[in-house]
């Protein structure tokens, strides 16, 4: 396997970059402690500012709605989610439109993922909770409450189970 490498000629972020995500094979998005989201096109090597985040929003994770999400629904692949150190879940349109932020966790919301079918979101937090959200950001259920922070999680390919980590433990629910 051969990897194609690309580098931005000049740094665009002025602070720590805390999360990145692919939107397509040619577009990468990044967010950081400077409260800015940038899009980097790998073909043209151009970087564009997408939007400013609120000054009190420090991103921890980013994930795009899978392109296959919502099978044939208009807008599939056009929305991404960003979680924050303030416990929030923020949905953002590809064009940079910020939706209403959701108070997701007590403490930091450390990670978030779209389901493979695009119907839901799962988040994990510093409070040890694993929560399932609707596509629009409404809480559906608290899947688990742990005594340790949830640092990573993932949906199963059929979007029926969630794998998450707390400390040295892996749990599937």
At 73 the pLDDT is: 45
How many Å apart are CA 78 and CA 55, to the nearest integer? Answer: 24
At 72 the pLDDT is: 43
How many Å apart are CA 152 and CA 4, to the nearest integer? Answer: 27
Average pLDDT over the chain reads 89
Phi, psi at 150, each rounded to 5°: -100, 110
How many Å apart are CA 117 and CA 38, to the nearest integer? Answer: 26
* Two tokens, residue 49: 């500012």
* Residue 118 burial class via C-beta count within 10 angstroms: exposed 0-12, middle 13-18, buried 19 and up: buried
* Two tokens, residue 89: 């879940």
Q: Please say if the pLDDT value at position 28 is more than 70.
A: yes
Q: What is the pTM of this model?
A: 0.87
At 71 the pLDDT is: 45
At 110 the pLDDT is: 98
How many Å apart are CA 16 and CA 59, to the nearest integer? Answer: 10
* Two tokens, residue 96: 């940079």
DSSP, res 29: E
How confident is residue 143, by pLDDT bands cut at 50, 70 and 90? very high
């Amino acid at each position: 396997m051969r990897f194609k490498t690309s580098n931005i000629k000049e740094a665009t972020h002025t602070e720590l970059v805390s999360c990145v995500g692919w939107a397509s094979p040619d577009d990468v998005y990044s967010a950081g402690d400077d409260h800015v989201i940038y899009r980097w096109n790998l073909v043209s090597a151009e970087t564009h500012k997408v939007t400013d985040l609120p000054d009190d929003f420090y991103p921890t994770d980013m994930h795009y709605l899978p392109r296959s999400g919502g099978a044939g629904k208009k807008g599939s692949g056009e929305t991404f989610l960003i979680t924050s150190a303030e416990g929030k879940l923020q949905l953002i349109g590809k064009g940079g439109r910020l939706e209403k932020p959701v108070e997701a966790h007590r403490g930091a919301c450390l990670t978030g993922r779209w389901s493979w079918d695009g119907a839901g979101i799962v988040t994990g937090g510093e409070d040890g909770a694993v929560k399932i959200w609707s596509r629009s950001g409404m809480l559906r259920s608290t899947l688990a409450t742990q005594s340790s922070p949830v640092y990573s999680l993932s949906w199963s390919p059929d979007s029926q189970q969630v794998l998450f980590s707390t400390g040295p433990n892996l749990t599937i629910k």
